[in-house]
Structure 1
Amino acid sequence: MADISIAAVAAGFGLLILLMSLGLHVAFVMFILSLLGAVMYLGWPVAFEYGTQYWSANNNFVLVSVPLFILLGELLVRGGFTDKMYRALSDWLSPLPGGLLHSNIGASALFAAVSGSSVATAATIGTVALPAFKQRGYNARLVLGTIAAGATLGILIPPSINMIIYGAMTNTSVGKLYAAGVVPGLLLTALFMAVIVVVCLWKPAYAGAKEAPSPLRDKLIRLLDLIPPVTVIVFVMGSIYAGWATPTESAALGVVVSLALCAGYGRLNIKMLHESFLTTLSITAMIMLIAAAAFYLNFVLGMMGVPDMLTKFVTGLKASPGQIILVLTILYLILGCFLDALAMVVGTIPIVFPIVVALGIDPVWFGIFLVIMAELALITPPVGMNLYVVQGVRGEGNIIDVIYGVMPFLLIMLVLVALIWFFPAIVMWLPGSIGN
């Protein structure tokens, strides 16, 4: 174990955050700092362990589910199911105060349950939804805010790629994380819709002109368009919760079901498959490179004894778990202003996770807390990824409109953090009820 001080750890962590915030690639920054730490404190034999750690990360059975879930979402998008899904939900949600705005949240929640990615959700729902608001008189900022904020549900409502990576890095059950994300995800969906209702009752003009409802017969027929995404959700999440499949096996099952649906609806062809595979390959390569660097960072810090040292330091401060969570909330809010959500998660887990576990905080609960903070990072200016995705899909105006639009939803997400702290059963009830 290396002789290292708290000041050296703080300096290294500060340098990690600084280099990431300057725009250097996340994986490169973590690898270089891990290598420097290994050489300076442990010697070259440990530094050369990168190859072993890289192989371990890419040979991790849990992480195999990452490309499968990405491919699943790609197949549903390119199969054309999301457009019809949005229209079917609009029939039933538009009568609420706020009209079509609720469809953005509802469609995001449903697509989140099959995609596992917030950015994919933002791009997909934005592409489908924005044309629907043209010439309808809705407040542009609120429209953009609902799309960007609703898309954050992509990493909270399972399946979630962020939960997979957290589970792999901390040896936490991904199945339990998925179960733990369901109730907070549904609660956040309801809170987002409540914000829309309150805003539109306060400012009715924000909701545009009232539209005549579709005939009941048409609405019932269009409900059939929900069958494909709901079928995938039932197979993927049902197989996990029933104990029939691991998350990786359920992801593979979801891909098979999606392929069958695409074929059944006449959408399956070589061109569509080629495009889906290329996108899956590029996204997976980026995520797995980051995961491999994070595993190496985890390994080096463990060999240096940093987790044990920090745990002793924090416990010596006699801080309560609530105080630590408050500090972490503020820390992640600040980091979210400068770092990508995934970078923020993988860069801080090796430092933070041992501390919260030593304080008696449940790893499953903390995983959901961390995912919510990552959601906040996705819509926190100036580098919130969802802000730029939605603005890019919009293709006009200024990104300031998107930033103003997400502010009410950002605040309500902080309310959710408070709720899960004071009422931890919101997170822990479902994973506890399904057992191991």
Structure 2
Amino acid sequence: MDLATISFTLLFLLVLFMGGTVWIGVSLFLVGLGGFMFFTDLPYGSILSTGLWNNTSGSAMLALPMFVWMGEILFRSNISQNLFKGLTPWMDAIPGRLLHVNIFACSLFAAVSGSSAATTATVGKITVPELDKRGYRRSMAVGSLAGAGTLGFMIPPSMMMLVYGIIGDVSIGKLFIAGFIPGFLIAGLFSAYIVVRCLMDPTIAPAQAEGYTWKQRVAAIPQIAPVALMVIGVLGSLYKGWATPTEAGVVGVAASLIFSVATRSMNPATFKATLMGTVKTTCMIMLIVVGASYLSVVVGYLGITRKLTLFVTSMGLSKYTLIFILTLLYLILGCLVDGFSMIVMTTPIVLPMVTAVGFDPVWFGIYLIIMIELAQVTPPVGFNLFVISSLNNDDVLVIAKAAMPFFLLMCLSTIIITVFPKIVLFLPAMMVK
């Protein structure tokens, strides 16, 4: 059987299993097993056991449950409520006023949680009801939340970056540092859009500001301080080289526990809930990673990756044409599967192609994170849409429509980092020096 037929068969089986609501990790494992059994004579059992150990025993993977646990603790504490109260006086003088709290709160929370879902849920359960009560337009409130909630994947630390770094054998520390400027670039675009829209249509936000004084703004700083200190502790220890990504995760967990106890939002029942949530999320991610690694091994043994890379390079496509094609493919894929699956299914195949045309693996990791962010707000699988819907009982398609301007701004950010890759690579280069 020729290689094209084998590739089509594996792809057909993957679509069949996933379309039949089989768990994604199990689907990946079954397709990999079928590839070994029918198209090779390799000892698939030994390869599976080796892959299980190699992909779950490394120190880099230990960072994953740490950042998941940190997000769980923050989600169940009242730190997010204090963050909203602390940011409110500072946003009052900007056009759009409290709509910017969505952007800034998500940016700060993303810098300590590492999870888009945790960021969206934690910030959304506070901001959307408050914005409704104060008369802000609902579509802008939920749209900005859906867009800004995706920053949990971009602003380090990020679970998606961890998984990509492990799958693609790329420095996790460099990925974390590389995501900092693009993350705040996207946040800046979101805030700029809100300012422009509110200047063009003043009915989006209430007509009168609440008139906070500078004394009230300064008095609100202690409510922002816990999150700010956690950002400094986690990212500062990482950037200064005092801690590895795994150790930085432990720093974050310790800080989140201290602050949750200090704010009296931690009790035995809550602590147990954070542990159970961490175990469930980590096991789900591990299953997908192991299944994808098993499939990627058979794809490598069959020569599919090498043949595809040679085919693409022989076409003489420019690097920008290749990225344009990949963007279209990722947008389609993002409508069908979640972000973790996008990484583990495509990285072993796509990464050799993009590096062959001259893109840096660290840059591609940030590009891929933006593609995953876009997938978070595109139906029918846009996870942020479901998170917001569960919080406020809004229709998913209505939320998706409200998030469309922020979707387009993330597309714009993709163009910007593609044309100016140093936006991504500047800080990692400084790290090397």
Aligned to 2:289: 291
Aligned to 2:422: 425
Identity %: 38
1:119 corresponds to which letter in structure 2? A
Find the partner of 1:93 among 91, 94, 103: 91
Question: Alpha-carbon deviation of 1:63?
Answer: 1.2
Equivalent-residue separation in structure 2 for 1:320 and 1:203 (angstroms): 42
Mapping 1:44-59, distance limit 5 Å: 45-59=43-57
Q: The residue matched to 1:27 in structure 2 has which SS?
A: helix
Aligned to 1:196: 194
Q: The residue matched to 1:244 in structure 2 has which SS?
A: coil
Equivalent-residue separation in structure 1 for 2:16 and 2:371 (angstroms): 19
Equivalent-residue separation in structure 2 for 1:331 and 1:226 (angstroms): 40
Equivalent-residue separation in structure 1 for 2:204 and 2:263 (angstroms): 38
Mapping 1:154-193, distance limit 5 Å: 154-193=152-191
Aligned to 1:72: 70
Equivalent-residue separation in structure 1 for 2:217 and 2:18 (angstroms): 48
Moved more, 136-145 or 10-19: 10-19
Moved more, 176-185 or 223-232: 223-232
Equivalent-residue separation in structure 2 for 1:191 and 1:10 (angstroms): 41
Equivalent-residue separation in structure 1 for 2:304 and 2:2 (angstroms): 8
1:291 corresponds to which letter in structure 2? V
Question: Alpha-carbon deviation of 1:372?
Answer: 0.2
Aligned to 2:397: 400
Moved more, 331-340 or 363-372: 331-340
2:183 corresponds to which letter in structure 1? G
Deviations along 1:322-381, whole A, 9 cap, x unmatched? 111110011111111222122122111122112112222100000000000000000012
Aligned to 1:387: 385
Confirm or deny: 8 A CA contact 2:84 2:105 kept in the other structure.
Answer: yes
Moved more, 301-310 or 401-410: 301-310
CA RMSD of aligned residues (A): 1.7
The gaps in structure 2 that reach 5 residues or longer are none
1:230 corresponds to which letter in structure 2? A
Equivalent-residue separation in structure 1 for 2:12 and 2:19 (angstroms): 10
Q: The residue matched to 2:150 in structure 1 has which SS?
A: helix
Find the partner of 2:374 among 373, 376, 379: 376
2:216 corresponds to which letter in structure 1? D
Find the partner of 2:337 among 334, 339, 355: 339
2:408 corresponds to which letter in structure 1? L
The gaps in structure 1 that reach 5 residues or longer are none
Equivalent-residue separation in structure 2 for 1:39 and 1:206 (angstroms): 60
Question: Alpha-carbon deviation of 1:249?
Answer: 1.0
Equivalent-residue separation in structure 1 for 2:205 and 2:17 (angstroms): 43
Mapping 1:25-424, distance limit 5 Å: 25-43=23-41, 45-395=43-393, 397-424=394-421
Q: Sort the Cα spacing of 1:403 and 1:421 in 2 relative to 1 into closer, same or farther, 3 A.
A: same
Deviations along 1:12-33, whole A, 9 cap, x unmatched? 2354345435543210111111
Equivalent-residue separation in structure 2 for 1:335 and 1:14 (angstroms): 15
Deviations along 1:411-434, whole A, 9 cap, x unmatched? 011100000011011100011011
Q: The residue matched to 1:49 in structure 2 has which SS?
A: helix
Equivalent-residue separation in structure 2 for 1:286 and 1:199 (angstroms): 40
Question: Alpha-carbon deviation of 1:185?
Answer: 0.2
Confirm or deny: 8 A CA contact 2:68 2:113 kept in the other structure.
Answer: yes
Deviations along 1:188-244, whole A, 9 cap, x unmatched? 000011111122122211123323222322221111111111111111111111112
Equivalent-residue separation in structure 2 for 1:84 and 1:350 (angstroms): 42
Confirm or deny: 8 A CA contact 2:385 2:399 kept in the other structure.
Answer: yes
Q: The residue matched to 1:350 in structure 2 has which SS?
A: helix
Confirm or deny: 8 A CA contact 2:36 2:42 kept in the other structure.
Answer: yes
1:399 corresponds to which letter in structure 2? V
Confirm or deny: 8 A CA contact 2:79 2:263 kept in the other structure.
Answer: no
Confirm or deny: 8 A CA contact 2:379 2:397 kept in the other structure.
Answer: no
Deviations along 1:273-316, whole A, 9 cap, x unmatched? 11111111111111111111122122222222222111111111
Q: Sort the Cα spacing of 1:10 and 1:317 in 2 relative to 1 into closer, same or farther, 3 A.
A: farther
Q: The residue matched to 1:381 in structure 2 has which SS?
A: coil
Confirm or deny: 8 A CA contact 1:94 1:103 kept in the other structure.
Answer: no
Matched, 1:6 2:4: yes
2:430 corresponds to which letter in structure 1? S
2:61 corresponds to which letter in structure 1? L
Equivalent-residue separation in structure 2 for 1:333 and 1:76 (angstroms): 31
Question: Alpha-carbon deviation of 1:44?
Answer: 5.3
Equivalent-residue separation in structure 2 for 1:233 and 1:118 (angstroms): 16
2:213 corresponds to which letter in structure 1? P
> Aligned residues, how many?
433
Confirm or deny: 8 A CA contact 1:70 1:116 kept in the other structure.
Answer: yes
Moved more, 102-111 or 41-50: 41-50
Confirm or deny: 8 A CA contact 1:101 1:196 kept in the other structure.
Answer: yes
1:311 corresponds to which letter in structure 2? T
Confirm or deny: 8 A CA contact 1:6 1:310 kept in the other structure.
Answer: no
Equivalent-residue separation in structure 2 for 1:140 and 1:401 (angstroms): 11
Equivalent-residue separation in structure 2 for 1:21 and 1:358 (angstroms): 33
Q: Sort the Cα spacing of 1:29 and 1:359 in 2 relative to 1 into closer, same or farther, 3 A.
A: same
1:420 corresponds to which letter in structure 2? I
